[in-house]
Amino acid sequence: MSDLATLEKSILDQIAAASDEAALEAVRVASLGKKGSISALLATLGKMSPDERKTEGAKINLAKDAVTQALATRRDVLKAAALDARLAAETIDVTLPLRDTPADAGRIHPLSQVWDELTTIFADMGFAVAEGPDIETDDYNFTKLNFPIGHPAREMHDTFFFNPKEDGSRMLLRTHTSPVQVRTMLTQKPPIRVICPGRTYRIDSDATHTPQFHQVEGLVIDKGSHLGHLKWILHEFCKAFFEVDHINMRFRPSFFPFTEPSLEVDIQCRRDKGEIRFGEGEDWMEILGCGMVHPNVLRACNLDPDVYQGFAWGMGIDRIAMLKYGIADLRQMFENDVRWLNHYGFKPLEIPTIAGGLST
């Protein structure tokens, strides 16, 4: 074997033996570097005769090419092995549990959600939202709504009072949201189309009553709206709110001081092990009261009952929230137990819309 062949074999053996890229680089420098063994052989060519140079040069260059090729091949192998080794070491435990994002952890109270649902449905029907103060005068809460002083109908409302003022008058906590209707009629010109959601108060506390609760009332005043329209609106509302294709409703004559005629409305439902389904079944469940605004109320709000007319309705927001979402106990609405809120509450990005649905 010639010296060159021996050298080439020796270098190729070193390349094969290089265990990492650094070792391989050392082999490259020792062979092809400025002072490398093959570079040194190439440097000897200058002293040779042209013929000798031709034959020897070709040999040396062949050896150089073989070494260069082997270096590149080995480098690829070592690089892939190094990456494999690195990747093998780089593992994480993908089963580690995530933490809820804040938007998943937060909750909207069912009352607020239903409030938004109501507003969405009625806004689509052209209703604005009116609000008024919780602390009211006797005049707005009762007298202007055709509750004569001393009338037993006032007793139907167990009223919270504040202490009398120096002039003998005393403020109270509104027992219904109807004073907002009065305020609206006194400040706006017909046509009026508003809903009035708000907090109301009565001295009452048992399984189905809490001293504070929430109502939403509706009011329409113009020159032609009648009971037929009222029935239609409530029918449309109930279908939209309970998200059913059809619903049977029963309108019964009743009595409220501020409407004449007055009606109570029942919806047909089926109760099954605590679950209530609407649009089917045998039971009737009372859901709201309504009627044509009483002429005395219109007069008290400076509207001529022979020119203007309209209707109003009212229902419990807490109650319809309970019915729709299967909440059994009213009192838990205000106990703020985080377990209850997490269960019955809504995620903040579940925003009721007409296009996307109320609760889906």
Residues 7-36 that bind another protein (CB under 8 A): none
CA 1 to CA 59: how far, in whole Å? 13
**By CB under 8 A, is residue 276 in contact with another protein?**
no
Nearer to another protein, 9 or 250 (CB): 250
Which residue type, as a one-letter code, is found at position 36? G
DSSP collapsed to 3 states, 18-31:
CCCHHHHHHHHHHH
Nearer to another protein, 61 or 119 (CB): 119
**By CB under 8 A, is residue 216 in contact with another protein?**
no
**By CB under 8 A, is residue 102 in contact with another protein?**
yes
Residues 6+ away with beta carbon under 8 Å from 337: none
Residues 6+ away with beta carbon under 8 Å from 150: none
**By CB under 8 A, is residue 173 in contact with another protein?**
yes
Nearer to another protein, 27 or 263 (CB): 263
**By CB under 8 A, is residue 186 in contact with another protein?**
no
Q: Which stretch binds another protein (CB under 8 A): 32-40, 48-56, 92-100, 238-246?
A: 92-100
Nearer to another protein, 116 or 243 (CB): 116
Pick out residues in 31-70 that bind another protein (CB under 8 A): none
**Strand ranges inside 226-324, DSSP E:** 249-256, 259-272, 275-278, 283-293, 309-316
Dmax over Cα atoms in the chain, in whole Å?
136
Torsions phi, psi of 270, nearest 5? -125, 130
SS3 193: strand
Q: Which stretch binds another protein (CB under 8 A): 7-15, 64-72, 239-247, 292-300?
A: 292-300
Nearer to another protein, 51 or 335 (CB): 335
- Minimum Å gap between C-beta 310 and another protein is 10
Site string for another protein, 328-347 (x = CB under 8 A): -----xxxxxxx-xx--x-x
CA 175 to CA 158: how far, in whole Å? 8
Region class of 309: left (phi > 0), else alpha (psi between -120 and 50), else beta? beta
* Annotation: binding site for Mg(2+): 260
135-137 and 171-173 strand pairing: antiparallel
Instruction: Compute the half-sphere exposure of residue 221: CA atoms within 13 Å on the CB side of its CA.
Output: 28
**By CB under 8 A, is residue 351 in contact with another protein?**
yes
Helix (H) or strand (E) holding 250: strand 249-256
With CB under 8 A as the contact rule, the residue among 43, 80, 81, 162 that binds another protein is 162
With CB under 8 A as the contact rule, the residue among 21, 25, 56, 131 that binds another protein is 131
Could you give the angle at the alpha carbon of 70 between the alpha carbons of 66 and 75, nearest 5°? 155
Q: Which stretch binds another protein (CB under 8 A): 13-21, 63-71, 289-297, 323-331?
A: 289-297
Nearer to another protein, 2 or 163 (CB): 163
**By CB under 8 A, is residue 207 in contact with another protein?**
no
Listing DSSP states for 53-69 in one string gives HHHHHHHHHHHHHHHHH
**By CB under 8 A, is residue 90 in contact with another protein?**
no
Q: Which stretch binds another protein (CB under 8 A): 57-65, 76-84, 217-225, 268-276?
A: 217-225
**By CB under 8 A, is residue 312 in contact with another protein?**
no
With CB under 8 A as the contact rule, the residue among 25, 30, 138, 251 that binds another protein is 251
